[in-house]
Homo-oligomer: A and B are copies of this chain.
């Protein structure tokens, strides 16, 4: 069984969806550890209530390199095969990314390369797109820019607010993140240039 390390900063609703799929057997993996960089992340309680290892590793005031070394050490300690960012609100250093080559996934609430960065749903509404969505991608040294594993399209409605749009996107996030993790841990892909080809 491949071992997942899940990084959160808040509620971690994607973590909850992954945990549900692991518990049901739909995702054949083990959650080795859930790590939050914030002490008040609600996802930590969820992890504990599910009997998972939950670690709080506060990042406040720490230098990025120093923090990332601690984070990597914690993940290695739990023998993590794949790192899954689930609303982890920090940029990772190049050193951290080199430590887990092709072994860090992120989910982003837009059809990348459109609307990278913060407030993707707000960006989508302000730009007036009629279709947005979400993207699971490998993490590389650029923001929201690594090779794309899965995307899902979501319609934008005329009466959408950030909340209603975010909710509609989140449903798809919960579906595709587990699907992408399944493909990656099974090794059922190869990377050709920027393209992730399923094998």
Chain A residues at the B interface, C-beta cutoff of 8 Å: 111-115, 125-131, 133, 147-153, 158, 193-198
| Residues of chain B with a CB closer than 8 A to A125's CB | 195
Chain B residues with CB under 8 A of A150: 130
Identical chains bound together, number: 2
Closest to A153 in B: B153
Report the Cα distance A24→B142, complex, angstroms.
50
Cross-chain contact of A152 among B126, B128, B131 (Cβ < 8 A): B131
Contact call B195/A128, Cβ cutoff below 8 A? yes
Query: What is the bound-complex CA distance between A127 and B111, given in angstroms?
Result: 12
Contact at A129–B158, with CB atoms within 8 Å?
Answer: no
Set of chain B residues within 8 Å of A148, measured between Cβ atoms: 127-130
- Within 8 Å CB of A198, what residues of B? 158
Q: Chain B residues near A113 (CB, 8 Å)?
A: 114-115, 127, 129
Taking a contact as CB atoms under 8 Å apart, the answer to whether B194 and A128 are in contact is: yes
CB nearest neighbor in B for A191:
B128
Q: Which residue of B lies closest to A125 (CB)?
A: B195
| B151 A130 Cβ-Cβ under 8 A | yes
